[in-house]
Structure 1
Amino acid sequence: MKSIVLTQRRADWLLAVLAMIWGSSYLWMKISLTGVPPFFLIFLRFGIAFVLVAGLCRSRLRQTTKRLLKGSALLGLLLFAVFACLLQGMETTNASTAGFLVSTTVVFVPLLQALLQQQRPSRTLMGCCFLTLTGIAMLTLQEQLSWNTGALLCIASAVCYALQILETDREIRLTNALLLGIWQLAFAAGYGLLASLCFETPAFPATGLQWGSVLGLAVLCSAFGFVLQPVAQAHTTPTHTGLIFSLEPVFSALFAFLFLQEWLSLQGWLGAALVLTSVLLAARRAA
Structure 2
Amino acid sequence: MNKPMDDRLQIKADLMMVMVTLFWGASYLFMKMGLHSIQEFNLIALRFGIAFLVAVVVFYRRIIKVDRKTLMIGFLLGALLFFTMSSVVVGLKTTSISNAGFLFSLAVIFVPLLLALLFRKKPEKKVIIGVCMSLTGIALLTLNGALHITIGDLLCILGALLYAIHIIVTGKVTKNVDAISIGVLQLGFAGAWGLLFSFMFESPQLPGTTESWIAILALGIFCSAIGFIGQTVAQKYTTPTRTGLIFSLEPVFAAIFAFIFVGELLTIKQYVGAILVLLGVLAAEMNMKKLLAGKGIVKLINRLGEHTLHK
- Common fold: TM-score over 0.5: yes
C-alpha distance in 2, partners of 1:90/1:152? 11
Residue in 2 that maps onto 1:63: 65
Mapped pair 1:238 → 2:254: no
Residue in 2 that maps onto 1:151: 153
Please state how far the C-alpha of 1:203 moved relative to its aligned partner. Answer: 2.1
Q: Alpha-carbon deviations, 1:166-224, whole Å to 9, x = none?
A: 01011102421111101000110111111111111212211000010000000000111
Q: Which amino acid aligns with 2:268?
A: L
C-alpha distance in 2, partners of 1:81/1:114? 24
C-alpha distance in 1, partners of 2:73/2:176? 9
C-alpha distance in 2, partners of 1:78/1:130? 26
Please state how far the C-alpha of 1:144 moved relative to its aligned partner. Answer: 1.1
Tell me if the contact between 2:129 and 2:284 (Cα under 8 Å) persists in the aligned partners: no
Residue in 2 that maps onto 1:188: 190
C-alpha distance in 2, partners of 1:131/1:68? 37
C-alpha distance in 1, partners of 2:135/2:146? 16
- Structure 1: which 4+ aligned runs deviate by more than 4 Å? none
Residue in 2 that maps onto 1:78: 80
Tell me if the contact between 1:9 and 1:283 (Cα under 8 Å) persists in the aligned partners: no
Residue in 1 that maps onto 2:35: 33
Number of residue pairs the alignment of both structures matches? 283
C-alpha distance in 1, partners of 2:86/2:266? 29
Q: Which amino acid aligns with 1:206?
A: G
Q: Which amino acid aligns with 1:186?
A: G
Residue in 1 that maps onto 2:139: 137
Q: Which amino acid aligns with 2:139?
A: A
Counterpart secondary structure, 1:36: coil
Residue in 2 that maps onto 1:98: 100
Tell me if the contact between 1:89 and 1:150 (Cα under 8 Å) persists in the aligned partners: yes
Tell me if the contact between 2:130 and 2:282 (Cα under 8 Å) persists in the aligned partners: no
Report the RMSD for the aligned CA atoms in angstroms: 1.4
Counterpart secondary structure, 1:72: helix
Residue in 1 that maps onto 2:303: none
Please state how far the C-alpha of 1:63 moved relative to its aligned partner. Answer: 2.6
Q: 2:281 aligns with which of 279, 282, 285?
A: 279
Percent identity, aligned pairs only?
44
Q: Which amino acid aligns with 2:61?
A: S
C-alpha distance in 1, partners of 2:50/2:110? 30
Tell me if the contact between 1:35 and 1:203 (Cα under 8 Å) persists in the aligned partners: no
Residue in 2 that maps onto 1:257: 259
Residue in 2 that maps onto 1:45: 47
C-alpha distance in 2, partners of 1:62/1:55? 11
Residue in 1 that maps onto 2:309: none
Please state how far the C-alpha of 1:285 moved relative to its aligned partner. Answer: 3.0
Residue in 2 that maps onto 1:18: 20
Q: Which amino acid aligns with 2:286?
A: R
Q: Which amino acid aligns with 2:136?
A: T
Tell me if the contact between 1:102 and 1:157 (Cα under 8 Å) persists in the aligned partners: yes
C-alpha distance in 2, partners of 1:19/1:45? 17
C-alpha distance in 2, partners of 1:63/1:124? 42
Tell me if the contact between 1:20 and 1:248 (Cα under 8 Å) persists in the aligned partners: yes
Q: Which amino acid aligns with 2:210?
A: G
Between 1:245-254 and 1:196-205, the stretch displaced more is 196-205
Tell me if the contact between 1:15 and 1:229 (Cα under 8 Å) persists in the aligned partners: yes
Residue in 2 that maps onto 1:206: 208
Unaligned runs of 5+ in 1: none
Tell me if the contact between 1:68 and 1:180 (Cα under 8 Å) persists in the aligned partners: yes
TM-score between both structures, scaled by the size of structure 1: 0.96
Residue in 1 that maps onto 2:179: 177
Please state how far the C-alpha of 1:113 moved relative to its aligned partner. Answer: 1.1
